[in-house]
Chain A
Amino acid sequence: MAARIHGGAATALSTFNPKKLVAPSRTNLPAAARSSKRCIVAGGGSDASKKSLSVRHSQKLIANAAVATKAETSATTGTGHELLLFEALQEGLEEEMDRDPHVCVMGEDVGHYGGSYKVTKGLADKFGDLRVLDTPICENAFTGMGIGAAMTGLRPVIEGMNMGFLLLAFNQISNNCGMLHYTSGGQFTIPVVIRGPGGVGRQLGAEHSQRLESYFQSIPGIQMVACSTPYNAKGLMKAAIRSENPVILFEHVLLYNLKEKIPDEEYICNLEEAEMVRPGEHITILTYSRMRYHVMQAAKTLVNKGYDPEVIDIRSLKPFDLYTIGNSVKKTHRVLIVEECMRTGGIGASLTAAINENFHDYLDAPVMCLSSQDVPTPYAGTLEEWTVVQPAQIVTAVEQLCQ
């Protein structure tokens, strides 16, 4: 069943040069290694000419870095339905469970309770207890169970009630989930999706406000994506479930009630592509998850002050979409990264390194990275506000970079 490709990306097209898509040559690894460029995810080099946005191919699902602005989606489709982000996630999950009987959900309180953030509401009634499993509180064991089940061909969606709890399952995620495909010489695939809310919430306390993307990012063999709008939440959820690789889908506690109109037709989002939120000329601002909204808020102020920031929601935390990011850097020559991870060893730190390595010649100013403070998130509201990056800081940083 062919899914409709979302051609809402009118602006994405402007950065997309079909002429560049010659059939990629397969270079030998030793040459590439010698050039010490960062080796990133690459496709298999099949027909580049097929990569046209309106192809409907029953086997090949070509997804697109959809621009999820309200105007675009409703303009293209005419209809659509409005829903909240958690409902979008639920819709995506339900559609995939309908489509493939191998998909099952496991986690704490996902079944009868409906999910602590209502992402799995109603699914247990529809699909039964064997497909929507309420697990006891044992992250290590049920994550391991999901991975073991995936080795045989099931496609579990494992929910961590809060991403922070998955620290207890770190061994399973790192050693088994990430590495089994490699150490078995390709015999086993692990098509799991590990998802859950993370990030700094409203005074939830230090242990419930963790950003696990920085801890997981080094694990070889996994993919990480972060959703930020109902549109990309549903699209990424579906893509993650269909992916044969283990995918960690990071949701944010404070974004579950975002409302947006999404298309009625089926669509998926590309797991490895970044989203162009607002094209611009002066500076590239890279962000993801909740910080996207802080950046957009700052962008309003910046526009009033006469700046034209280009805002990209990187979405794919591992691997980075260096193509979209690179094109942007080549255009604006200045980069600001705004993230919610800690300063030390966060996604921003890796992204800074990647940009410096690959696009050094195009930069007019050093890459600046605004991250959360290296402190456990305090409970007091005012202090908590100061641990994460606020729009005012983003405005100041842009002014500084654009001098």
Chain B
Amino acid sequence: MALSRLSLRSNRLLNPSTTTAALPSSLRRHVSTDTTPITIETAVPFESHLCDAPSRSVETSSSEILSFFRDMARMRRMEIAADSLYKSKLIRGFCHLYDGQEALAVGMEAAITRKDAIITSYRDHCTFLGRGGELVDAFSELMGRKRGCSNGKGGSMHFYKKDACFYGGHGIVGAQIPLGCGLAFAQKYSKEEFVTFTLYGDGAANQGQLFEALNIAALWDLPAILVCENNHYGMGTATWRSAKSPAYFKRGDYVPGLKVDGMDALAVKQACKFAKEHALKNGPIVLEMDTYRYHGHSMSDPGSTYRTRDEVSGVRQVRDPIERVRKLLLSHDIATEKELKDMEKEVRKEVDDAVAQAKESPVPEPSELFTNMYVKDCGVESFGADRKELKVTLA
């Protein structure tokens, strides 16, 4: 049944290419340096709740679209590499992959600054990369090495990057939503004009703490943007089996909402830009990103018991975010087939090098077991049972 509903949706999205015609070669633009604005129409209109939807015409430039392509290709390659590393048992535990959803990460980054905060769930590898994280730090963390972004102590579900205002990386479904509202509160408290994007999934959308946090955010006018990454499956349960009202953008009730085609990086960019302006003036807004994940929920989930392979390949053929951007680049003569293929090869090499480097990096020292438990305090000191000898320094 999910298949028929999804194919209904995908039928509507059958032609993702733009409505503007290809340019003649005399006006062909250069590959990566052009910042002349181009306007692209999104394929799918926005659906709104309690607000006016933004325009479908997105301002962008050829360099931006090219950067989308490169960044998404890098994210895709990283996730595929993580898949094979997991299968060769170099990554253990839980590994939740984001391939298929890359447009969300890059589109959001294009609309905001590194001072705006992002907090997300455990499907955080690509969001980390989008915030400026290094590939080698990501792979090292996945493989539990010291070089990792959390010193090897967090793992796949706990990537953080404080200097880029990326607050993780959280394992418990929905627990990051109140945290995100806290980040927004701190932004309001410090009177800086920044916003917080709190990402959660369609599964987490049924958590009570979401509605508690929404209430507080709306009551106190916090600059919080709650983004529901609706990939239609909460682990193995389709949205129609878990939510009485699967219109997640309307679930905010008194909070305005917007439904966005999450596989279209430009639509995501437009929506995030709109949401940021809204949040700074009027308080919280809910964005529902209609997206899809190709892998199962995690590496221990084949992803085929609750959906058919045809559905997955169907979405891949029709809605793949990277393919859309490729078509855009080709139709606007921003790059040639060969240039794009070369770019993909470069990205592949980048990822392979990062994996190799991460494989070489050392595991944490045993003493690291006790570091970062506590913060060394305001000069107040305490000792263990015997003050002569320091048993361990809890840093």
Residues of B within 8 A of A (CB): 117, 119, 148-155, 158, 160-162, 167-172, 175, 177-183, 185-190, 208-209, 212-213, 215-216, 219-220, 366-367, 369-395
Contacts and interface: CB of A to CB of B under 8 A. Distances in A.
A60 B155 CA distance: 36
B382 A144 contact: no
A182 B384 CA distance: 21
Nearest to B395: A186
Interface in A319-343: 319, 321-323, 326
Nearest to B119: A148
A1 to B, nearest CB: 13
Interface centre among A33, A151, A221 (most CB of B within 10 A): A151
A176 interface: yes
B162 A188 contact: yes
Contacts, number: 252
A368 to B, nearest CB: 21
Interface string A48-71: 000100000101111100000000
A104 interface: yes
Nearest to A16: B387
Interface string A97-138: 000000010000000000000000000000000100101101
Which of A148, A223, A239 has the most CB atoms of chain B within a 10 A radius of its CB? A148
Interface string A148-188: 11111110000000000000000110011000111111111
A40 B190 CA distance: 37
B179 A145 contact: yes
A32 B213 CA distance: 45
Given A135-B216, A183-B158, A144 B175 contact: yes
A345 B389 CA distance: 30
Interface of A is mostly: loop
Given A146-B182, A152-B186, A239-B378, 8 more contacts: A28-B367, A60-B378, A138-B216, A140-B178, A141-B209, A145-B213, A153-B186, A154-B189
Nearest to B382: A272
B189 A149 contact: yes
A26 interface: yes
A185 B181 contact: no
Contacts of B382: 41-43, 270-273, 319, 321, 323
Contacts of A243: 375, 377-378
Interface stretch (A17-25, A208-216, A393-401): A17-25
A244 interface: yes
Chain A interface residue bracket vs B: 35 or more
Contacts of A22: 388
A148 B171 CA distance: 15
B391 A32 contact: yes
B180 A148 contact: yes
A135 B215 CA distance: 10
A42 B167 contact: no
A45 interface: yes
A131 to B, nearest CB: 8
A146 B178 CA distance: 8
Nearest to B152: A185
Given A26-B393, A28-B367, A29-B366, A175 B175 contact: yes
